[in-house]
Amino acid sequence: MAKKQKTLKVNVADSVRIKQDVKAVSYTAKDIYVLEGLEPVRKRPGMYIGSTGPDGLHHLIWEVFDNSADEALAGYARNIAITLLPEHRVRVVDDGRGIPVDVHKQTGTSALETVMTTLHAGAKFGGTSYKISGGLHGVGVSVVNALSMGMKAEVCRDGLQYMQEYVRGKPKAAVKKIGTCGGSGTAITFQPDLSVFETVIFDWNRILEHIRQQAYLIPGVRVTITDARGADTSKDGTPLVPSYTFYFEGGIASYTAYLNRNQKPKHENIFHVGKEIETPNGRKIHVEAAFQYTDDIAGKEISFANNIHTGEGGMHLTGFRTALTRVLNDYAKQNDYFKKDDETLTGDDVREGMTAIISVKLPEPQFEGQTKAKLGSPEARTAVETVVGEGLKEWLEKYPRDAAEIIGKALLAQKARKAAKAARETVLRKGALDGMTLPGKLADCQSKDPAESELFLVEGDSAGGSSKMGRDRKFQAILPLRGKILNVERARLDKMLASKEIRSLIIALGAAIGDEFDVTRLRYHRIVIMTDADVDGAHIRTLILTLFFRYFPLVIEKGYLYIAQPPLYKVQSGKTSQYAYSDAEKDAVMAEMRKKKLDTKKERAAAKGEAVAEGEQDVKGVEIQRYKGLGEMNPSELWETTMDPAARILKQVMITDAAAANHIFDILMGDEVLPRKKFIQTHAAAVKNLDI
């Protein structure tokens, strides 16, 4: 049974008594601690890089890369190289101007040392060195330095090579001249501090995707990434060094085409506009936007401010949406697409199936938080709305055939929205949402506390029956799902709500769907997908995951969705039995059981003064049962292997990269067959235990 959290309650009288019992402690100026240099970063790293987990670890690379990207944006760097080295080290090199090394008047030390060891120090707070910059706060490289076991900065300026090394943010020695060099540039090599981060293992694919994205945003700049950690070797034993070079002339228009590579475009020409606009206060903002519609239902909007991915959007995204909705409505009215005078397209209508990239470059952008996930600069909204509004009007007139396709898709989305609203009102009656008329096949739990309640989505009636009998009724609910549910990747909401299985699930969850979805009304905070360990079970699991990813993303983001791990085998020797969840575990269990039987056999023989001959040491009597489905388990087996919180294995479903997840769902569950075929061919060799 789920454990209840103990809560200590203290009333007012108790609190007074407690205060009287505490010995007075002095609180004067000497009790105020001032953290100098980079100490605040090491004391509270999460304030500067978001977390000390994988996100924060990779943020170190982004911060150093941003400095090189700023040199490229300023027009000085044409090449950037990132190399993953052994011992978890990373090296970032650019051919920009190189960090200055002359003495800084304010600090009295080299400008290089000042930049590397001082918070809020850099050329991005004023002057003309950087008109636009991603490294707004000036804490980037110094924070990386503070959180690194070791760092080395190498600078080439005016034909001379300079170098300085650091340990946890502190210089080992002064900046020194180490030789001559050609050209100019900066190289930063760092090693994350093992005592700070939960892990120091860098994810190659994650870095690759981020750097590819960045390369689209700085067209004409060559970005190379190399994995020189030496983990893989060829057949002859030589190290394999994967390396990719990205160079894009087309910018975000090319990026839009790349994102739509596995989709069927609704129109041939990609909308693209780029223009610099001056704000009333004299600040210049460069706005760039691109979009293309596909025959998909889901849409993608990716926004950037000074090349920083603003995952939570912000003012620039709001300006884009406003301009898009207004201009398309005006065009539809002017060209008599509406049947009624008061007819209009909503923002959701015009964004269905659209892949859009919005990028703004502006001086001194205001972000919400150091990780810069949301742009808060109000002038960005006005600038984007103006540039996109004017550009889209011209584009629609220039490409009337494309305009017709876009308006037609938006009208179809409008029709589907109205149909879905009617279906939703039918399915999600107030009584159903309040739990008055829950699905008949739902075996609900006794607890009404969502925090301790679990809902198992079980494949098939047979397994559903076993799980109902084996569960703990106090906090575990069972909803059997018959057959494979509808693939919602290919269906609109109105068609989806016609599915009996999906309707039952929506009502059981109790949080509605679509615009009415309210995660605070969710009846269970642990939703467990429990399917057979075979191909059909995997397909059903994928269909359910698609449903949650597309229509209940908050459930995943909150950490409420799980996948049960039923055992593959039951290994039995006499009266002793043990479950195995993989082939490797099965082999280990069998070997252990055989060893015990052989030891017993030898002990018995020794007691008789005999010895077990080598030819008689093969032990039999170890039996293996392979579970093909949950229905093969009786209630007690299902409980002790898959449902008992004390013994079960659950996998929590998480979204680390929404864009990558969206791409995979498009491949696996979309209409296009060729990308899916290619994906299967690429990964077929890695599949084990395939039941055909």
| Residue of 536, 592, 632, 657 marked active site | 536
472/299 Cα distance (integer angstroms): 41
305 in Cβ contact with 133 (< 8 Å):
no
| Residue of 489, 532, 637, 666 marked active site | 532
The alpha carbon dihedral of 291, 661, 206, 366 has a sign of positive
| Residue of 402, 459, 501, 666 marked active site | 459
| Residue of 94, 534, 637, 666 marked active site | 534
The alpha carbon dihedral of 132, 137, 141, 142 has a sign of positive
The alpha carbon dihedral of 436, 442, 445, 448 has a sign of negative
Return the closest-CA partner of residue 457 out of 509, 533, 497. Answer: 509
Q: What's 249's DSSP letter?
A: S
63/134 Cα distance (integer angstroms): 9
Question: What angle is formed at CA 476 by the lines to CA 473 and CA 481, rounded to 5 degrees?
Answer: 115
Residue type, 73: L
518/522 Cα distance (integer angstroms): 7
Longest CA–CA separation in the chain, Å:
104
442/501 Cα distance (integer angstroms): 11
Question: How many helices (H) and strands (E) are present in the chain, helices listed first?
Answer: 22, 22
Tokens read off for 492? 């609109």
- Active-site annotation holds for 534: yes
- Active-site annotation holds for 532: yes
483 in Cβ contact with 539 (< 8 Å):
no
Strands, DSSP E only, in 168-293? 170-171, 176-180, 185-192, 222-227, 243-246, 271-278, 284-293
- The order of strands in the sheet holding 576-580 is 576-580, 569-573, 622-626
Give the orientation angle of helix 400-427 with respect to helix 500-509, to 10 degrees: 70
Catalytic residue set: 459, 532, 534, 536
